[in-house]
Amino acid sequence: MFVDRVELFVKGGDGGRGLATFRREKFVPKGGPDGGDGGRGGSVIIRADPNADNLAGLTMKKHWRAKSGESGGGARRTGANAEDVILLVPPGTIIRDRDRGNVLKDLVNPGDELVAAKGGRGGRGNVHFKTSTNRAPRESEEGEEGEERWISLELKVIADAGLVGFPNAGKSTLLSRVSRATPEIASYPFTTKHPNLGIVTAGDGQFVLADLPGLIEGAAQGVGLGHEFLRHVERTRILIHLVEPFPSDDSDPVRNYHLIRKELHDYVVPLSDKPELVCVSKAELTGADEVRDKLAAELGREVLLISAVTGQGLQLVVGRVAQMLAEIKRAEAEEAARKKPVIEFGTEAVVRTSDFQTTAVASITPPTDGAAP
C-alpha cells in the first residue's frame, strides 16, 4: 500500500516531578534538603530515512505519545530522562501544523529531522529552593507538560527525472526496462496509481527515475486526482515527456503533448519551466517515426523515438538524462560558488560577492606564520 498523506497526533512526555526530601543519616543532624530533579520527558521526533519509501507505516497508529520522565530521588538523584519516539519518513516529506496550516519543516535530505512535540523539562527538587533564610524548604516543582499538536505529513517524491504523459503512454514499461523497478504494467490506462522509483545506471553514475501516474486534461484543476499526481512532479529536476503515437481514443498525439504542457503550466506551482526531454514511445508500431517527425517540426527541437519493447533508443535516453543532470549540477555548483563570501585581508575586512559589497568596521590582519586564518 502506498500512502503519501497522513495526519497524526503527537505529544511529548511530561517532565518528571522534583522531590522534596531531607538528608537523614546517623551522626548528621539537620542534613538539609536533598531532593533531586525530575527527568526530562521524551520528545516525538520525525526523521527522514532513505530506506522509507512512503508513509504507510504510520497509518496504523494515529496517536504517538512519548513517555514522561521519572521523578527525582533522594540524595540529589535526578530522575531518568524518557526515551524519544522517532518516526521514520521518506525524504521529501513536508510536515505542517494541521490546525494552523503553516509548514513546520520540509525534510528534503536523509537525516533531516524535526522535533514535532518537545518533551517537558523535569521539575526542580527542594535543594534548589534553599536560601539563607529558608534552610529547610519543602517546596518542589512538578515537571513541565510536554508539547502536543496535530500534524499533517505530505510526501512529494524526490527524483532526478520524472516520467510524465497521458495514461498508457508506456511510462511504467520504460521504468522497468532501464531500472530494476517492478511497477504494475497492463494494457489499460491508469495502471499506475502512485509513483514508482527506480535507480538507473548511466556510465559510472546513477540517477533516480520516477514513474508518475498518467495525467489527463484538467489535472491542474484536480480532475482525475490531478493535484495528487502533479505534486510529485514538483521534486523532479528533469521531465521525460512520453507521447504515445497512436492513442487508443484516436486523439492527436501532438495535441496531447500540448495538453500535458498546459496542465504543468497551470498547476499551483508552475512546472513547465523544468528541463524536458520529449520522446515518442512505442517505436515498434508502424508510422511512429512519422509522428516523431511531426512533433519535432512542431516543437522545433529534438524528439527521440524509443521502444521499451525492443529497446530502441533506451540507452540514448539514459545518456541524455545523465548529460542534462550533469549540466544542472554544474550550474548549481557555479551558482553556489558565486554567492559564497570571500574575505580579502588588508587594512579592513571586506566581504565581496558578485551581488553585493559590505565593508566591516573591524580590520583583519593576515597571519604571519603561514598558518591558516
Query: Which pLDDT value is given to residue 50?
Result: 87
Record the cell numbers describing residue 249, joined without a space: 481514443
**CA-to-CA dists, residue 311 to 281, 350, 353, angstroms:** 11, 57, 49
Q: What is the sign of the dihedral through the CA atoms of 46, 51, 53 and 57?
A: negative
Question: Does residue 220 contact residue 233 with C-beta atoms inside 8 Å?
Answer: no
The span from the CA of 112 to the CA of 361, in Å, is: 37
Three-class SS of residue 105?
A: strand
Largest interatomic CA distance in the chain: 104
Query: Which pLDDT value is given to residue 190?
Result: 46
Average pLDDT, rounded, for the chain: 83
Query: Which pLDDT value is given to residue 216?
Result: 56
**How far apart are the two ends of the chain, measured CA to CA in Å?**
55
- Kindly list the structural domains of the chain, giving each domain's residue range(s) and its CATH number in brackets, ordered by start: 1-155 (2.70.210.12), 161-334 (3.40.50.300), 342-373 (no CATH)
The list of the chain residues with pLDDT below 50 reads 186-192, 219-220, 222-226, 345, 347-365, 370-373
How many residues does this entry show for the chain? 373
- Answer whether 0.75 is exceeded by the pTM: no
Query: Which pLDDT value is given to residue 168?
Result: 81
Query: Which pLDDT value is given to residue 344?
Result: 53
CA atoms within 13 A on the CB side of 152: 11
The span from the CA of 67 to the CA of 52, in Å, is: 25
- The answer for 198, left when phi > 0, alpha when psi is -120 to 50, beta otherwise, is beta
